C-alpha cells in the first residue's frame, strides 16, 4: 500500500473522480496527493471488482478495512514458541497453588534458549489480557452477598463419635464493604448451606438485595446460562428473608471474583494460624476462625485509611432488617393420599390426615423440624404438628367424612354422657357394659346399640329394660334387645300378700321358734 496513509475522505474522492474518467495526474493535482499514491489506490480499487456506487454506501471503518487490511508481522521462532506455551500454561494456572514463576521454570526446562524471565512476564500479561479480558465490577452499597466454599478443608473432632472428619469451609462477603464471614461446616448439604448463609446474614446484621452463589447443588438444581433452576429449599430461604438469588455463570469465576479473592485471603490469614497438631471440635474450631476473621476485617485496607469493618458500619444502614424469626428448613416430598385419607411420611414412619376429598390425589408434602404442611396446587390443605412416633396416626377430625368423624368421637366418656342424659339407671348399666367387654371397640358398638333403643322405643322402656337386665346380671346389647322384643320390660312385679289377721286360734310364727 502507499507509504503514507491518507484519509478516507481523499480515498473516496480518488475513486469518485476515477469513476468519472478523470486521469490520475489530474486527480493528483486536484487533491494535492502524489501521483504514485493515486495510482496505488486505483490499483487496489480495480482488484476489489466493485463499483463506486457500492463503495459510497460503506462507512469509513468498512472502507478502511478494504484499502488498509491489517498486516501480520511474522513472529520470531522464540516468540512463536512462547505463544504456543501459553495455552497450556493457562490450564495449569487454574490449579490451586500454581504460580507464574513455577510456569516460567517449566518453560525454561523445555526452551533453554527462550525468553528471559522479565520478557516472559510481559508477554504473558499481554496474552492473558487478549484471551481473558477482565471487567471491573462496580459494587453497590447493600447490593450483593457473594458466597462460596473454600477448596481446602479443615480437620475437626466429632464429639459424638470421636472421629476425625474434614469440615467444609463456607465463605461469604459483602460486595461493597468487603466485610467477610467464614465458618466451618460439617458438609455441603442443603441444610448446612442454608444454615451458613443465615449465620452470615446475622453476622452482617442485615440483608442485602441478592445472594450470588456458585452453581453447587445446594443452591442450583439445574445450571443454565440464562434461567438456572434453583433449589426449592434455598429459594424458600431467600423468600423468608426477602432476598434475590443470582447464581454465577457456570465456570465463570470472574462473576464472583471478590469471594474467590476472600477464599485466598482465608488461606493466608486463617488457615495458616490454625494449629496443625491440635485438632479441635467444630465449635472450638469456629471460635478460632472467628478470632482471626475479626482480625482480618479490622485490618486496614491497602491504599485506604479504613478497614473492612469501618466500611461495613457505613454499609449497614443500606442493608434490610433481618426476619423476625430464623428460617426453618422445609423438606419437600410428593405423596399420594391413601384410601384412609392419610399420607405417609417415611422419614418418621408416621401418618398425617388430609381432607377425605383428596383420597387418591398426589399432593406436595412440606415438613420442617416442627410442622408438616400439605399442599395441592399451591393451596394449603392441611397442617399438623410434626410427630416422630412411628406407625401412628395424626388425624384432624375435620378431614374425615361425617360418619367417620362421629365414630372417632367414641370414648367411654362419650357414652356415659349420653346414657346419663337418659337416666342414672341407664348410665350405670352402660358403665357395666364398658367394664365387662374385653375389646374397647366391642364395648363402643354395644353401648351405641343400647342407646339407640331410646329413639326406637323411648326412654321409659329403655330404663325398665336396663333395670330388668341388671336384676338378672346380664350386661350386653343382646339381653336388652331380648327384653324389649318380648316385652319383658312391661312385666310388673306381684305385690306382697297382706299380713295374716291376728286370731286366738292361730299360733303365729313365734310358736315354731
Cell of 136: 471491573
Percent of the residues in the chain that have a pLDDT greater than 90, as a whole number: 18
Q: Which range (332-336, 422-426, 457-461, 505-509) has the least confidence?
A: 505-509
pLDDT at position 406, please? 47
pLDDT at position 252, please? 54
Cell of 487: 316385652
What residue spans define the domains of the chain? 8-67, 77-131, 144-318, 331-405, 410-490
pLDDT at position 437, please? 63
pLDDT at position 2, please? 44
- CB environment 89-110: b (16+ within 10 A), e (fewer): beeeeeeeeeeeeebbeebeee
Q: How far is CA 123 from CA 81, 85, 107, 119, in A?
A: 12, 11, 13, 6
Q: What is the 3-state secondary structure (H, E, C) of 465-509?
A: HHHHHHHHCCCCHHHHHHHHHCCHHHCCCCCCCCCCCCCCCCCCH
Distance CA 465, CA 475 (A): 11
Q: Residue 262 burial (CB < 10 Å; 0-12/13-18/19+)?
A: buried
If one compares 166 and 505, the residue with the highest pLDDT of the two is 166
How confident is the model over 236-254, as a mean pLDDT?
A: 74
Most confident of 44-58, 101-115, 195-209, 348-362: 195-209
How confident is the model over 281-293, as a mean pLDDT?
A: 93
How confident is the model over 332-343, as a mean pLDDT?
A: 84
pLDDT at position 448, please? 83
Is the pLDDT at 224 greater than 90? The verdict is: no
pLDDT at position 207, please? 93
Cell of 456: 326406637
pLDDT at position 71, please? 64
Average pLDDT over the chain, rounded to an integer: 81
Which residues are CB-neighbours of 80 under 8 A, at least 6 positions away?
none
Q: In the structure, what pLDDT confidence band is assigned to residue 157 with cuts at 50, 70 and 90?
A: very high
Is the pLDDT at 494 greater than 50? The verdict is: no
Is the pLDDT at 255 greater than 60? The verdict is: no
Distance CA 312, CA 315 (A): 5
How confident is the model over 415-441, as a mean pLDDT?
A: 82
Q: In the structure, what pLDDT confidence band is assigned to residue 297 with cuts at 50, 70 and 90?
A: very high
pLDDT at position 402, please? 52
How confident is the model over 355-379, as a mean pLDDT?
A: 85
Q: In the structure, what pLDDT confidence band is assigned to residue 505 with cuts at 50, 70 and 90?
A: low
How confident is the model over 449-464, as a mean pLDDT?
A: 90
pLDDT at position 387, please? 83
Is the pLDDT at 512 greater than 50? The verdict is: no
Distance CA 353, CA 356 (A): 8
The CATH fold assigned to 144-318 is Nucleotidyltransferase; domain 5 (3.30.420)
How confident is the model over 196-220, as a mean pLDDT?
A: 83
If one compares 184 and 508, the residue with the highest pLDDT of the two is 184
Q: In the structure, what pLDDT confidence band is assigned to residue 408 with cuts at 50, 70 and 90?
A: low
pLDDT at position 166, please? 92
Most confident of 41-55, 84-98, 192-206, 336-350: 192-206
How confident is the model over 119-129, as a mean pLDDT?
A: 84
pLDDT at position 329, please? 78
Is the pLDDT at 138 greater than 90? The verdict is: no
Q: Is 167 helix (H, G, I), strand (E, B) or coil?
A: strand
Q: Which range (14-18, 222-226, 235-239, 276-280) has the least confidence?
A: 222-226
Q: In the structure, what pLDDT confidence band is assigned to residue 132 with cuts at 50, 70 and 90?
A: low
If one compares 210 and 402, the residue with the highest pLDDT of the two is 210
Amino acid at each position: 500500500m502507499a507509504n503514507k496513509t491518507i484519509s478516507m475522505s481523499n480515498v473516496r474522492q480518488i475513486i469518485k473522480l476515477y469513476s468519472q474518467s478523470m486521469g490520475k495526474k489530474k486527480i493528483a493535482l486536484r487533491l494535492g496527493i502524489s501521483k504514485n499514491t493515486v495510482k496505488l489506490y486505483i490499483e487496489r480499487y480495480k482488484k476489489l471488482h466493485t463499483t463506486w456506487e457500492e463503495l459510497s454506501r460503506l462507512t469509513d471503518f468498512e472502507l478502511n478495512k478494504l484499502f488498509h487490511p491489517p498486516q501480520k508481522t511474522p513472529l520470531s521462532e522464540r516468540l512463536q514458541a512462547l505463544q504456543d506455551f501459553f495455552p497450556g500454561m493457562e490450564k495449569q494456572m487454574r490449579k490451586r497453588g500454581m504460580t507464574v514463576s513455577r510456569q516460567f521454570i517449566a518453560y525454561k526446562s523445555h526452551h533453554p534458549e527462550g525468553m528471559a524471565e522479565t520478557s516472559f512476564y510481559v508477554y504473558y500479561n499481554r496474552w492473558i489480557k487478549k484471551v481473558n479480558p477482565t471487567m471491573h465490577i462496580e459494587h453497590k452499597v447493600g447490593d450483593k452477598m457473594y458466597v462460596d466454599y473454600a477448596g481446602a478443608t479443615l480437620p475437626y473432632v466429632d464429639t459424638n463419635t470421636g472421629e476425625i472428619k474434614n469440615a467444609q469451609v463456607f465463605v461469604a462477603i459483602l460486595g461493597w464493604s468487603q466485610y467477610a464471614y467464614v465458618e466451618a461446616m460439617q458438609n455441603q448439604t442443603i441444610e448446612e448451606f442454608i444454615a451458613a448463609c443465615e449465620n452470615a446474614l446475622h453476622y452482617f446484621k442485615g440483608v442485602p438485595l441478592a445472594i450470588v452463589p456458585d452453581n453447587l447443588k445446594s443452591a442450583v438444581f439445574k445450571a443454565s446460562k440464562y434461567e438456572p433452576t434453583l433449589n426449592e429449599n434455598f429459594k424458600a430461604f431467600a423468600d423468608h428473608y426477602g432476598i434475590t438469588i443470582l447464581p454465577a455463570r457456570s465456570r465463570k469465576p470472574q462473576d464472583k471474583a471478590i469471594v474467590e479473592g476472600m477464599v485466598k485471603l482465608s488461606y493466608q490469614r486463617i488457615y495458616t494460624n490454625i494449629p496443625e497438631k491440635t485438632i479441635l471440635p467444630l465449635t472450638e474450631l469456629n471460635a478460632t476462625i472467628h478470632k482471626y476473621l475479626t482480625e482480618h476485617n479490622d485490618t486496614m485496607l491497602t491504599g485506604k485509611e479504613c478497614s473492612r469493618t469501618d466500611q461495613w458500619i457505613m454499609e449497614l444502614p443500606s442493608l434490610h432488617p433481618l426476619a423476625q424469626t430464623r428460617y426453618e428448613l422445609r423438606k419437600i416430598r410428593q405423596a399420594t393420599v391413601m384410601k384412609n385419607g392419610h399420607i405417609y411420611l417415611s422419614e418418621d414412619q408416621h401418618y398425617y390426615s388430609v381432607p377425605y376429598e383428596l383420597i387418591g390425589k398426589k399432593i406436595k408434602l412440606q415438613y420442617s423440624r416442627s410442622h408438616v404442611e400439605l399442599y395441592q396446587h399451591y393451596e394449603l390443605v392441611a397442617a399438623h404438628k410434626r410427630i416422630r412416633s412411628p406407625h401412628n396416626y395424626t388425624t384432624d377430625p375435620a378431614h374425615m367424612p361425617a360418619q367417620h368423624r362421629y365414630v372417632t368421637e367414641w370414648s367411654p366418656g362419650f357414652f356415659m354422657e349420653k346414657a346419663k342424659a337418659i337416666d342414672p339407671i341407664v348410665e350405670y348399666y352402660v358403665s357395666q357394659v364398658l367394664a365387662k367387654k374385653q375389646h374397647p371397640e366391642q364395648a363402643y358398638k354395644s353401648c351405641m346399640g343400647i342407646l339407640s333403643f331410646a329413639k326406637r322405643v323411648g326412654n321409659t322402656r329403655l330404663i325398665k329394660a336396663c333395670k330388668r337386665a341388671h336384676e338378672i346380671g346380664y350386661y350386653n346389647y343382646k339381653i336388652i334387645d331380648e327384653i324389649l322384643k318380648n316385652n319383658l320390660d312391661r312385666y310388673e312385679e306381684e305385690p306382697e300378700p297382706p299380713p295374716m289377721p291376728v286370731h286366738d286360734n292361730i299360733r303365729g310364727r313365734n310358736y315354731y321358734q
